[in-house]
Amino acid sequence: MPVVDVAVPVPLKQSFSYLHDTPVATGVRVKVPFGNRTLIGVVIGNIETQTEDTGLTLKSVIEVLDEVPLFDPTLITLANWLAKYYHHPIGEVWSTLMPVRLRKGMPLTDKLDAFTLTEAGQDALEQSLVRGKKQQLCLASLADEPVEEGEIKQRFSPAVIKALSEKALIQTVRIKQEIQTDWASYTLQETTPVASTEQAVAIAGVNQNGTEFRTFLLEGVTGSGKTEVYLQVIAPVLKANRQVLILVPEIGLTPQTVGRFERRFGIKVGVLHSQMSDLARLQVWQQSRRGELGIVIGTRSAIFTPMVRPGMIIVDEEHDESFKQQDGLRYHARDLAVKRAQTENVPLLLGSATPSLESLNNALAKRYTHLQLSERAGGASHTQLKVLDSRDQPLQAGIAPGLLSVMRSHLQQGNQVLVFLNRRGYAPAVLCHHCGQTVDCKSCERPFTYHKSQGRLQCHHCGASKRMPNQCSACHSTSLQTSGLGTEQLEQGLGELFPDIKQVRIDSDAVRGKDALVTRLDEINARKYQLLIGTQILSKGHHFPHVTLVVVLDCDGALFSADFRAPEKFAQLITQLAGRAGRATKPGEMYIQTDNPGHPLLQELIHNGFAHFARHALHERKMANLPPYSAQAVIRAEANAAQQVHTFLQQVKQAFSDHSHQFGGYIAGPLPCLIEKRQGRFRFMLLLQCSQRAALHNWIASTLRQVQSLPLATRVRWSLDIDPVDFS
DNA sequence: AGCACGCCGACT
DNA sequence: GTCGGCGTGCTC
């Protein structure tokens, strides 16, 4: 009897074999018995007949769920690659790349449920019998034709739908989806703008490559018209009746972005993001798989969207950290895009104003084709960057007097001022406010990290720990202070310093609701507030034409963090932010307050811009043998008992060091995580590094078994993170 | 991860 | 005498 190899959703690094009377195609879902439960798995291979030498009795497949494979060979290759590269259980890999509904074993059908008006509903609409405003709107949207369930559920609350169905004004019907498989004959809805010289060069660069795999890095300053380049490079792809997959950061997926693509080509654009219902996602997934969508735009997990006729992949804002999954299968969608484009043999376009050092390095090494846009469209001027030396300054609410007077003058002129809190979880260093010197670990020559809970300093490279000193070792001043503190004082203090100015705080807490951010941004642009205090979210996607001054305060935290990526993240933030303030008629200025005005990376950023900063930073990475000139992995562990976690990682470290000589591996830790305690559990991590990616891979592959069999491995919660980007 | 089996403490 | 604590081991 044929034997099928099934990837079952359990955290085990193997697949399981089942009997079935006929062979089952790879990529088909099956229902199988597993222990005393039944699970949905994916067939990943077939063994013709049962090999009698294995001593186990195989169970049989309960049900074959799909007539045809749901996944094409490319996605199967991708799944296998993921399991291997991230050392992750194959069954869990399949779970993450399947839409939730398919994971649950739900059937895939061409028909879908939709809402339509009943006769009573029709009357109610015509005679305006329904009093609820939302209910009225809902009825109106169904006036012409049935609308699919997913869409209605997204636009109206369950209460509205429930009320209308109870009054029998609406009902569900099954409709067959219209199938559009040919969009090559699309008509441009709007005229294609004439590309600038730089844009034209970039567009030609991509288009002349043909349809084969190649990675392009489009490095274009904010406002240089990257989207226009995307639009013009995908036009011929669509003309050839091929599909385009576009990945965007979580925050970047706005109706405006989607609308821009829809307006240009007049074709339906599939959208995928985390806030959609499972059903809506599945529908887009399926439409793409059947080749009914020319363009699919989505966030991180959209990289798993199947395409019958793939033509190109684009990753916008490729440096964005939201492309890295931070739990479970910790994949990086940008890296995966490279792998997928290669397997599909289609071009890949990575775009950013502030490319990741990884991508930039690949471009400089000619592995990627480097395309650059350095002019802002329409001749808009750049925001001027300035450094404000805060050494020895008496700070008020964390701000130096000189800067306060600059703020005052901008406010007096009726302009908006943005105070930016760089509140990201940087490992805080300790600096002398008199001379700017950091407190360093003697053996590593790197700043110590301040751990608030213990009130001690810890070196994140060798693990050395010492108590907080009283004096600066360089100038003996007693004004040592930890970086990144004082944001709370700032929020209060600004109110006291500028009592007559209307201020608003924008961070992820303050704009929790669905439309809260949009509302707040509209208010800002309507000049309802004059002083804006904000965090990360302000650096992404929004424009502030009335802001003429941007103040960045806790810069030193980023420059001296134990996280070697902190300066890069900071520079990206600054650059993105600078691109969002002011406009042609009202050029902006930006002040960065620091105790280290002479810091080489900061100087490079201020005077020569991100591109130069990045090249300088790359050079430093090379000198320090840090990524992308080496490869890293992190093992994180957490448990209720700190001792247990520590012991476990100590044993893991031992296991790795037993093998390290073969691979030239370096181990740091166990170190307490920056957020040492989360949900009552203590968290520690172990850093693994090799100069070669392959060596790191083999090192982990040959040690992981041993780690998994440690008795403590089942007592603590632990995870492996390949190519970590966040060390918190 | 689930889920069962298994062996020690306080309850109807 | 049993209900239930969570340690240990297995899942084709």
How does pLDDT run across A525-576, given as a tens digit for each residue? 777 888 888 777 777 767 787 888 888 887 887 888 778 898 999 899 888 8
Residue nearest to nucleotide C9 (CA to C1'): A714
At residue A613's C-alpha, the angle toward residues A621 and A560, to 5°, is 60
Q: How many helices (H) and strands (E) does chain A have?
A: 21, 30
Q: Is the distance from CB of A223 to CB of A229 less than 8 angstroms?
A: no
DSSP state of A536: G
Task: Name the residue type at position A493.
Answer: G
Distance A37 CA to C2 C1' (A): 28
CA distance A369 to A157: 47
- For A95-150, write each residue's pLDDT tens digit: 999 999 999 999 886 666 778 878 787 787 777 777 777 888 787 777 777 777 76
Q: Is the distance from CB of A652 to CB of A640 less than 8 angstroms?
A: no
Q: Is A408 exposed, middle or buried (0-12, 13-18, 19+ CB in 10 A)?
A: middle
Rounded alpha-carbon distances, angstroms, from residue A539 to A274, A433, A532, A544, A552 = 21, 28, 13, 10, 12
Alpha helices in A313-427 (DSSP H): 333-344, 357-364, 401-412
**What are phi and psi for residue A690, nearest 5 degrees?**
-135, 155
Q: Is pLDDT at A487 greater than 60 in this prediction?
A: no
CA distance A340 to A334: 10
Footprint of strand B on the protein (CB under 7 A): A 10-12, 35-37, 717
Amino acid A179: pLDDT: 58
Distance A591 CA to B8 C1' (A): 67
Rounded alpha-carbon distances, angstroms, from residue A543 to A107, A151, A517, A525 = 44, 29, 13, 9
Distance A37 CA to B4 C1' (A): 12
Q: Closest nucleotide to A35's CA, by C1' atom?
A: C11
Distance A716 CA to B10 C1' (A): 29
**What are phi and psi for residue A64, nearest 5 degrees?**
-95, 120
Alpha helices in A240-330 (DSSP H): 255-265, 278-289
Q: What share of chain A is helix, strand, coil (3-state, %, to 5)?
A: 35, 25, 40
- For A447-478, write each residue's pLDDT tens digit: 777 777 677 877 777 777 888 888 888 788 88
Residue numbering of the annotated binding site of A for Zn(2+): 432, 435, 441, 444, 459, 462, 472, 475
Among residues A131, A598, A153, which one has the least CA distance to residue A142? A153
CA distance A609 to A571: 9
Mean pLDDT of chain A: 85
Residue numbering of the annotated binding site of A: 432, 435, 441, 444, 459, 462, 472, 475
- For A300-310, write each residue's pLDDT tens digit: 999 999 999 99
Chain C bases having any atom below 7 Å from a protein CB: 8-12
| Mean per-residue pLDDT, A428-437 | 77
DSSP SS3 for A313:
strand
| Mean per-residue pLDDT, A220-229 | 88
Q: Is pLDDT at A299 greater than 90 in this prediction?
A: yes
Among residues A281, A283, A346, A278, which one has the least CA distance to residue A315? A346
